[in-house]
Amino acid sequence: MLLIHCPYCNQTLPEAEFTYAGEAHIARPADPSSVSDEEWRDFLFIRTNVKGPHYERWRHFYGCGRYFNAVRDTVSDRFLITYKTDDPRPELSKLLEKSK
Amino acid sequence: MSSFRVSGRGRVDHTQPIQFTFDGKKIKGFKGDTVASALLANGIHLMGRSFKYHRPRGAVTAGSEEPNALVGTRRGPGRFEPNTRATVQEIWDGLQVNSQNRYPSLSFDVGAINDKAYMLFSAGFYYKTFMWPKSFWDKVYEPFIRAAAGLGVSPTEPDPDHYASRYLHTDVLIIGAGPAGLAAALTAARAGSRVTLVDENPEAGGSLLSEPSVMIEDIPAWDWVAKTVAELKELGVKLMTRTTAIGYYHQNFVGLCEKLTDHLASPDGETPRERMWRVRAKQVVLAQGALEKPLVFDGNDRPGVMLAGSAQTYLNRYGVRVGDKAVIVTSHDSAWYAAFDLADAGTAIAAIVDTRAEPNADLVAEATKRGIRIMAGHTVTGTEGRLRVKSVRVNPVTGSSVGAPEIIGCDCLLMSGGWTPSLHLFSHTKGTLKWDEERQTFLPDHKAEECEIAGAGRGLWGIEAVLNDGAKMGAAAVKSLGKTAKAASYAVAHDRPGTGVSHKELPTDLDAGKARAFVDYQNDVTAKDLRLAVREGMRSIEHVKRYTTNGMATDQGKMSNINGLNIASDALGVPQPKVGLTTFRPPYTPTTFGAFCGYHKGSHFEVTRKTPIDSWAEENGAAYEPVSLWRRAWYFPKEGEDMHAAVDRECRATRASVGIFDASTLGKIEVVGPDAVEFMNRMYTNPWTKLAPGRARYGLLLGDDGFIRDDGVIGRLADDRFHVTTTTGGAARVLNMMEDYLQTEWPDLDVWLTSTTEQWATIALNGPNARKVLEPFVEGLDMSDEAFPHMSVAECRVGGFPARLFRISFTGEVGFEVNVPAHAGRALWEMLFEAGKKYDICPYGTETMHVLRAEKGYIIVGQDTDGTVTPHDAGLSWAIGKMKPDFVGKRGLARPDLVAEGRKQLIGLLTEDGKTKLEEGAQIVLDPNQPKPMKMVGHVTSSYHSDAAGRPIAMALLEDGFNRMGETIYIPMPDRVIKATVTGTVFYDPEGARLKL
C-alpha cells in the first residue's frame, strides 16, 4: 500500500484513503462547441499512457474530499510530487533532479 | 524408539513423546518434531508421490522450501489443509497426516504408470498431446487433465477457524532470526530503535540451530542464541516466530503471516488460527540466509536422496539420523561437515563424492581421520531402489569424459550443489540483481527500498562472517534513521566456512535422453525438459519457465531456479547474467486465503445498507434483493403466493387504489449556493433557470462523451437550493462526478454539494387514493391539483415531522414522495400504512416498482441503458435544453457516431403469442434462419409480466429501432425461436390521464 501526501491536508496517509482520477492537466475546453471532432475526441479519450513519470489526478476521497495532482513514476510506483489543483504543472527535469 | 533417533540429541524434548498418524498408521515422535523429522526418526522416507509422474518421493529438505513432502493435515471437522509441508508442520497428539497424489496407497500407486510413459510427458506435452482432434477437448482431454491436476484435495467444508489482521509500525523490521538477523537486531535494539524480528521457524536461531558445535564469543552457539534472545526481549524487541514475511511491497510495507494454532493439540478456540500483519517499517534488514541447491543427476529424486545441510539439520536440531549408511555427493564444502556430524553420530559414511578434483585439504584430513572414503573428481550418474535409495552409481570424471562406474550401497544419499541466497523478498521490491561470477549466483545489486541485506542472503558464508555482517547491517539501518550504533565484532571458534562450485546437470555415461535428472521436483521438470524447450525455440528464460513449468510450483523454484538457469544458459550458449532470472512474486510461501481474508468474511465481507423502514419490511415478510450495497424489499408475498402472484397483486392494488413503497435508497444530493442554478445548468442536460422554486423536473445526466450516466427528479426548493435525486446505485458516482467538475473545471462557481441519501427516509405513495391517504397528515400545504400539481415540491410537515414533499410519479399513477428525517421514517410509514388500510393500502417492493415503471416506459439507467446510450436513443430528446450554450455531454452529442443513423434505440417488444415472457439480456436477430454466427442487432433490457397490459411486455435496445415500429424480430433461445413485434415503450395510459387528480 502506497503512502500518499495530500497537499490540502498536508499529511502523508495510506493509499486506502485515496481514489485515482486519471491523467492530470487535461482541461475541458472553455467553449466545447467551438472545437473540432478530433479535438473533442482527444479531450475525451486520448491519454499519454506513459512508462515513467505520469501527471495524474487523485482524490482524497475518505479525507478532505479534494482532487489534487501528482507526478507518479508508473514503473517504480513512486510519487515524485503531489500538488494542489491550481498549482502550475511542475517541470519534470526539476522533479527528477530533486528526487536524486 | 527407533535406532534413527539419537538419544539426548537435538532440540526436541525427549521426555515428551507425541503420537500422530500417517496414513492411519500410528507414529511416535517428540515434542519439537516436525512431521518429517518424526517420520525420518521411524525410518520412513517415502512421504508422497510426485505431481506428474507419481514417482515416490521423500523429504529433500528440512524447511519451508520443501517440494516433495507435501501432506494433508486434519485436526477435526472442517480443519483439513492440503499440501502442508511435512518439514514445517509441528506434530501434536492426535494430528492426522495423510499422503497425497496416490491411489490406492503410497507404496503402490496406479498413477505411477505415468512414470513409465515419461516419454509422452515431456516439456510442452499439453500443447502437443491435447491439440487434436479438436472435438476431444471438452469430452476427453479436459476431464482427464482436471482429474489428474493438482496434488492435494481441496477442503470442502467451511473453515471453522477465524483469522485476524493487524497493523504494525516499527523502526527496523528484521526478517530472519538466524545469526545475521540476531546480530542485526541486537545492534539496532542496543542503539535504541524499535525493532521487530521475525522468523518462520518455531524458534530463533536459524542455521545456528543446526550448528551446535560452533562457539560464539567463547560460548556454544545454542547458549549464545538463548542469551541473545533474552537480551533482545529485555531491550523490548518484538520477536515473532512461526511468522513468515510473505511479501515486500512499496515504501517498506511488509506482509507477515503469523501462524498461531497449527502447532497446538487443543487450541483455546479464542485465538485466531493465523494473523496477517501489515507492517510499515522505516528500515528493513533482510537476513533470510541461503537455500541449498540439489545436484542434477539421474534418480536424484528417490526417497533417501536429501540435501546434505538438511540431513545435518535433522541430526542436530531433531536428533534424527536420516540413515545408517550414507553417500555424500557435493560440489560445496558444507556437505563435508554434514558427513562429519553424521559419522560422529554413528551413521556409516560410505563415501564422500566431490565433483571437484581437489577438495579443501583440511576437510580431506578430517575425513581421513574418520576413515571416510573420499572420491574427489567423481560424479554420481544414477541411483537404484524402488521406494528408497539402495545404491549409488559413482564414476570418475576427467574433463568432460566419464570413467567406469562403481556401485556403492547406501540407504541415503546426501547432496549439495552449493547455496542460493534467498532473494525472494528483495526481488518483490524490484531491486536489481547482479550475477556473481565467483559464487555462480545472483546477488542483490541496486536497492529499490530502504533496506539492507545481511549475511548469507548476500553471498557470505561461515558463521563469523555472517554474524559480523548482521551487526554491520543492523548499524547501517540505525544510521539511516539518524541514530548512531556500534556494530559488535564477533569471534567464532570451530566455524565452518567453505566454498564450492556450481553445476548444470552432472556429466553421465548413460544415454542422456533417458536420464531422469530432476531440476524442479514439485513440477517434475527434468534437465532434459529444459534442453528440449531450448531446442524447440524458447529463448527467454520466462518462456523456458512457462513451457517446462520449471519453478512454477508452489515452492516457486526455491531449489530449482539456479540449476534451471545453469542448464538453460548452457543449452542457449549464453552466459547466466544474459539469460536472467525469472520473477519472484509474493507470497514467499503458500498462504491461506483465511489469512488474506482476515475479518472480512460472512456479514463482514461487505456492509449491508438498510433503510430506516427495513425493519418493518422484515417484520412483514418481505423478500429481499440486493441493490448495490442496499438490501431492498423485493416483494411482500402473502401466504401461499409466489413472486409472480405477489407482484401481480401489488401492481393491481397500486393501480386500483394505493400502494406504499420505501424509496429511501434513492441517492440524494443537496446542491446549494449562489451559483447552484448555473451549476445545475452545466451538469444536467435540462434547463433549470426557469424552474421556479417549488417545482420539480426530471433531470438527465450525461458524461462528456454524450452517453447517459444517471437520472432522477430534481426539486428546486429556493433560488439557491436544489434537492437532487439519483439512482440508488449511482449516488456516490454522481456526487463524485459533480465534485470533479466543481473542483477542477468550474472552481469559480460558488456551490456546495452534500450527500443527504441517508439523512432522509423516503416514502412513496402511488395510486388514485394516494392523496386521500396522505392529505390528513400534511400541515402547511394546499394539496389541490391547482396549488400542488404534478412535478411540485414543498417543504412542510407530514405526520408532525419536518418534510420535503414531492408530487411525482414513477408508476403513472398520482404519486407522492415524502422525505422525512431518517429517524422518523418508520414512524411515518406506520402512520400512513394504518391510515391507508381503509383504502386497502398495499406495500410493494422493487419488483412491482419495476413493472409499474416499465408499463409506462420509464427507463432505469444501467438496466435499459448501458453506457453507450444517448438521450435520443432512449427517447429522451425532450429532456435536453437545446438553447443552453453548454452542459456536460452537449458537445459529445454532436460526435459523428452519436448523430449517425441506425443506432441502437430503446423500443418496446410484444411477443407474438402474447404469453411468452422474454428473458432479459436475450439477443435479437432479424433473420432466424441465417447461418451462425448470426448478426445480433440488439438485446432485451427489461421484461415483465404486466397485469395492467394483461400480457408480458418488454423493452429492448434495437438497431434502428425507431424505424422498425410494427416489424417482427426474432429472439433465438436454446430450445426455440421467439417472435416479437416492435412497439413503442408505453404500454399503459399513453395519454397520462391517470397522473391528474
pLDDT tens digits along B264-293: 999 998 999 999 999 999 999 999 999 999
Closest chain B residue by Cα to residue A30: B745
pLDDT for B542-596, tens place per residue? 999 999 999 998 888 899 999 999 999 999 999 999 998 888 899 999 999 999 9
Q: What is the separation, in whole angstroms, between the first and last Cα of chain B? A: 95
- Compare B120 and A53 and report the one with higher pLDDT: A53
Closest by Cα among B688, B671, B684 to B722: B671
Say if residue B507 is preceded by a cis peptide, omega within 30 of 0: no
Rounded to the nearest angstrom, the minimum Cα separation between A48 and chain B is 19
Chain B residues interacting with chain A (CB cutoff of 8 angstroms):
249-251, 253, 278, 280, 430, 448, 704-705, 736, 739-740, 743-745, 747, 885-886, 890-892, 894-896
Do the domains B294-415 and B162-288+419-491 match in fold? yes
Closest chain B residue by Cα to residue A64: B739
Q: Which residue of B741, B884, B891 is the best one to mutate when testing the A interface, meaning the one whose CB has the most A CBs within 10 A?
A: B891
Determine contact, residues B187/B486, Cβ cutoff 8 Å. Answer: yes
Question: Does the beta-carbon distance from A27 to B249 stay under 8 Å?
Answer: no
| Chain A residues with beta carbon closer than 8 angstroms to that of B885 | 31, 33
**How many angstroms separate the CA atoms of B985 and B997, rounded?**
24
Rounded to the nearest angstrom, the minimum Cα separation between B279 and chain A is 10
pLDDT over 70 (residue B150): no
**Interhelix angle B334-344/B308-318, nearest 10 degrees:** 40
Closest chain A residue by Cα to residue B248: A1
Task: Give residue B115's pLDDT band: very low, low, confident or very high (50, 70, 90).
Answer: confident
* Number of inter-chain CB pairs under 8 A, A vs B: 56
Asked if the B666-755+869-886 domain carries CATH number 3.30.70.1400, the reply is yes
**How many angstroms separate the CA atoms of B485 and B478, rounded?**
6
Q: Give me the residue from B448, B736, B740 closest to A76, CB to CB.
A: B448
pLDDT over 60 (residue B611): yes
Question: Does the beta-carbon distance from B743 to A37 stay under 8 Å?
Answer: no
Q: Provide the mean pLDDT of chain B.
A: 94
Closest chain A residue by Cα to residue B278: A1
| Chain A residues with beta carbon closer than 8 angstroms to that of B747 | 85-86
B797-810 b/e (C-beta count within 10 Å ≥ 16 → b): ebbebebbbbbbbb
DSSP codes of every residue in B936-994: P-EEEEEEEEETTTTEEEEEEEEETGGGGTT-EEEEE-SS-EEEEEEE-S--S-TT-GG
Question: Does the beta-carbon distance from A37 to B896 stay under 8 Å?
Answer: yes
| Chain A residues with beta carbon closer than 8 angstroms to that of B736 | 19, 59, 61
Closest by Cα among B824, B92, B191 to B483: B191
Pull the grid cell for residue B861. 439507467
pLDDT for B629-681, tens place per residue? 999 999 999 999 999 999 999 999 999 999 999 999 999 999 999 999 999 99
Task: Give residue B793's pLDDT band: very low, low, confident or very high (50, 70, 90).
Answer: very high
Q: Is B613 exposed, middle or buried (0-12, 13-18, 19+ CB in 10 A)?
A: buried
SS3 B470: helix
Question: Does the beta-carbon distance from B705 to A43 stay under 8 Å?
Answer: no
Q: Regarding the domain delimited by B1-155, which CATH topology (the fold level of the hierarchy) does it fall under? A: Ubiquitin-like (UB roll) (3.10.20)
Q: Regarding the domain delimited by B510-579, which CATH topology (the fold level of the hierarchy) does it fall under? A: Arc Repressor Mutant, subunit A (1.10.10)
pLDDT for B740-784, tens place per residue? 999 999 999 999 999 999 999 999 999 999 999 999 999 999 999
| Chain A residues with beta carbon closer than 8 angstroms to that of B896 | 37
pLDDT for A63-73, tens place per residue? 999 999 999 99
Closest chain B residue by Cα to residue A69: B744
Asked if the A1-27+35-96 domain carries CATH number 3.30.2270.10, the reply is yes
pLDDT over 70 (residue B39): yes
pLDDT for B805-843, tens place per residue? 999 999 999 999 999 999 999 999 999 999 999 999 999
Beta B163-175 vs B195-198: how paired, if at all? parallel
Asked if the B294-415 domain carries CATH number 3.40.50.1860, the reply is no
Residue B950: how many other CB atoms lie within 10 Å: 9
Domain ranges of chain B: 1-155, 162-288+419-491, 294-415, 510-579, 666-755+869-886
Rounded to the nearest angstrom, the minimum Cα separation between B734 and chain A is 14
Question: Does the beta-carbon distance from A32 to B743 stay under 8 Å?
Answer: no
DSSP B210: G
Rounded to the nearest angstrom, the minimum Cα separation between B705 and chain A is 7
Query: Structurally, what CATH architecture does the domain formed by B162-288+419-491 represent?
Result: 3-Layer(bba) Sandwich (3.50)
Closest chain A residue by Cα to residue B429: A76
Rounded to the nearest angstrom, the minimum Cα separation between A11 and chain B is 16
SS3 B450: coil
Global confidence as pTM: 0.90
Task: Give residue A5's pLDDT band: very low, low, confident or very high (50, 70, 90).
Answer: very high
Q: Give me the residue from A2, A44, A85 closest to B704, CB to CB.
A: A44
